[in-house]
Amino acid sequence: MGNYKYYSIITGLFTASLLISNTLDTKIFMLGSLALPAGILLFPIAYVFGDVLTEVYGYGAARKVIWTGFGALILMVLFYEMARQIPPAPFWDHQQSFENIFGKVPRIVLASITAYFLGEFTNSFIVAKMKLFAKVKGTVQMAFRFLVSTIFGQAVDTTVFVAIAFLGTMAIGDLALITLSGWAFKVAWEIIALPISIPLVKWLKKAENEDYYDKDTNFNPFKLS
């Protein structure tokens, strides 16, 4: 991997968006007729960064960042659970509130890790393959692969996440509503973000002097070298 200026910054922002959104996902809110986990306010940024990473640095570089986020999520849930199990101080009377929020996090993170793993690699794979086989370079083609990768990646991510996080706690109809609402919101978020993500990618390619094509890439998600 080259000596990139901004790769580590994007990695940090990507990982932060994952950790924050997983904590926010303990709350469900209504946006009109849409039922959404609160983490959805931030989580789509991770997919934008996923698109940017794959488009500029290639699938292999994106794969390392995805695994970095995976490790950070594991670390977060371990220490959340450790903090939850520690007996509270006698004068601290917020243990139940702490339990109510962070007691849900392990299941939320299990759902998120599984969904994130499958969804992010689906997203990154599609971006890399569509870029490789694109006959014409340009803004429209880039926007199109970002949109297509999000449609499929978020479909996988949202379905898996809702099934693991909430199955058995809500009616099937409510689960379906959350799934469809979340998927639609995330795809819309990607479309809205295109005027930002496309110029960002163009600037980043120029700043890093990189526009990677995955011609000989091993797309095995478990191969980190």
Residues 6+ apart with CB under 8 A from 207: 5, 6
Residue 224 lies in a domain: no
Q: Find out whether 156 and 119 touch, Cβ atoms under 8 Å.
A: yes
User: Can you give the residue range of the structural domain that contains 198?
Assistant: 7-208
pLDDT computed for residue 30 by the predictor: 82
Whether the per-residue pLDDT at 155 is higher than 90: the answer is: yes
Per-residue pLDDT, 203: 94
Q: Report the percentage of the chain scoring pLDDT > 70.
A: 96
110 assigned to some structural domain: yes
Residue 154 pLDDT level (bands cut at 50, 70, 90): confident
Q: What is the pLDDT of residue 159?
A: 92
Whether 204 is covered by a domain: the verdict is yes
Residues with Cβ < 8 Å from 118, sequence gap 6 or more?
156, 157, 160
> Is the predicted pLDDT of residue 1 greater than 60, yes or no?
no
Number of domains in the chain: 1
**Residue 101 in domain:** yes
Query: Is 116 inside any structural domain?
Result: yes
Report field, pTM of the whole predicted structure over 0.85: no
175 lies in some domain: yes
Task: Single out the residue of 145, 175, 177, 147 nearest to residue 163, CA to CA.
Answer: 175
Residue 222 DSSP SS3: coil
Domain membership of residue 2 (yes or no) is: no
Give the residue-averaged pLDDT of 206-220: 91
**Residue 142: which CATH number?**
1.10.1760
Split at pLDDT 50, 70, 90, the class of 46 is confident
Q: Is residue 213 part of a domain?
A: no
Which among 211, 5, 136, 39 has a CA at the least distance from the CA of 47?
39
Using alpha carbons only, give the angle 180, 43, 107 rounded to the nearest 5 degrees.
Answer: 75
88: tokens are 């509270």
